[in-house]
Each structure stands twice: as C-alpha cells, then as structure tokens.
C-alpha cells in the first residue's frame, strides 16, 4: 500500500485504470457530435481529470475550447448546502454546447447550480462528465451524462481531490486509512 505523508493510502482506482476509462469517456463524448464544444473544468478538484480527459479527447479528434470555473459549496453534503461562484468563466456560453467536468457527483447541488447557470446564460446544451459518482449520496434529480466510475461511499483523495488541501498530487484515487 502506498504511504504518503506518513499515511497508508488504499488505491481505489489506479492511474492506468483511470487512463483507460478516460479514453472510453472521450469516445462516448465524441459520439455525440457536439458543435463548438466548450469544456468547463470545475475547480479545484477536477483539474487533473479535466487535463487528462481533454487530452483523451484530442486522441479522438475533438478540439474543445477550455474554460475554468471556481465554485465553492458549503456543506454540500447537507441540506443547507449553499453554492457560490468564486471565479467565473471568461467567455460567452450562449448558443454553445457546454460540457462541465467535475471530480465527484455527490448530492448534485454543485453541478445542478453550475448546469442551471449555463442554461440560464443561454447555452444550447449543458452536459456533465464526472470521474466519480456517489449515487447513494444524491439529494437532487441530477445525473451525469458521462461517468468514469461508480464510487463507494468513502471519502476519496488523489487525482486532484483533497482532504484539508492534501493529496491532490496522487496519480491515483485512494482512501486514506487510519485517522486522516
């Protein structure tokens, strides 16, 4: 088991498993024949997944424009979850096919908010790609169009995801064992 910062990390999804799945997701996205595709990476957690997924998209001849939105959700897993835009995208989404990329879909509050925001701004469509789906945690009717893996109900880290700002750099998705 890898040891990072003195903690044992159990590998849930390895780097090679994720890379294979990213290529499959890119092919699923390509099959939809979006026009003028605008990919929006939801920061911070999705930055590594988005970076790998857009390169997989290149491998299947997609050339999306890429933007970033920094969204913060307080108590996302609770009924009081409030979502705010901390840093917005720079371009107009009106009339465009938008693909939001995020790390985990849990309650669905973060991505429901982001999707409604893009549709309110006149996006032609707004699809959602997530690396991990914790379906058992859903509190909205939202579902993702592209899902990397169904995720068991553990707090996971790595591949962009953190606990208390740590472990984003891990090349795999894992679970911190012990007291972290």
Q: Which residues bind Mg ion (CB under 5 A)?
A: 45
Contact between 76 and ligand IMP by CB under 6 A: the answer reads yes
Closest separation in Å from C-beta 86 to Mg ion = 11
Is 75 one of the binding residues for ligand IMP (CB under 6 A)?
A: no
What is the nearest approach in angstroms of ligand IMP to the Cβ of residue 62? 23
Q: Rule CB under 6 A: choose which of 57, 156, 170, 176 binds ligand IMP.
A: 156
Q: Which stretch binds ligand IMP (CB under 6 A): 9-17, 73-81, 89-97, 118-126?
A: 73-81
What CA–CA distance (Å, rounded) separates 9 from 22?
22
Cis geometry, peptide bond prior to residue 40 (ω within 30 degrees of 0): no
CB of 45 to ligand IMP, least distance (A): 4
100 touches ligand IMP by CB under 6 A = no
Output the smallest distance, CB 177 to ligand IMP, in A: 14
Nearest to ligand IMP of 45, 64 (CB atom)? 45
Could you please report the per-residue DSSP string of 29-92? HHTT--SS-EEEEEETTTHHHHHHHHHHHHHTT---EEEEEEEEEETTTSTT-EEEEEE--SS-
Strands 82-87, 97-105: pairing is: unpaired
Exposed e or buried b per residue across 45-56, where buried means at least 16 C-beta atoms within 10 angstroms of its C-beta: bbbbbbebbbeb
């Amino acid at each position: 088991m890898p040891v990072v910062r003195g903690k044992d990390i159990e590998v849930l999804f390895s780097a090679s498993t994720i890379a294979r799945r990213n290529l499959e997701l890119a092919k699923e996205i390509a099959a939809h024949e979006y026009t003028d595709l605008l990919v929006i990476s939801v920061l911070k957690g999705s930055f590594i997944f988005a970076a790998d997924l857009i390169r997989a998209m290149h491998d299947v001849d997609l050339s999306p424009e890429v933007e970033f939105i920094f969204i913060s959700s307080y108590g996302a897993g609770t009924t009081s979850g409030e979502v705010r835009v901390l840093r917005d995208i720079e371009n107009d989404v009106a009339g465009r096919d938008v693909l939001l990329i995020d790390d985990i879909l849990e309650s669905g509050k973060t991505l429901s908010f982001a999707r409604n925001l893009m549709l309110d701004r006149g996006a032609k469509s707004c699809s959602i790609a997530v690396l991990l789906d914790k379906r058992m945690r859903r509190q909205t009717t939202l579902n993702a169009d592209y899902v990397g893996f169904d995720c068991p109900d553990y707090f996971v880290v790595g591949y962009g995801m953190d606990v208390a700002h740590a472990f984003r750099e891990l090349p795999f998705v894992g679970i911190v064992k012990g007291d972290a």
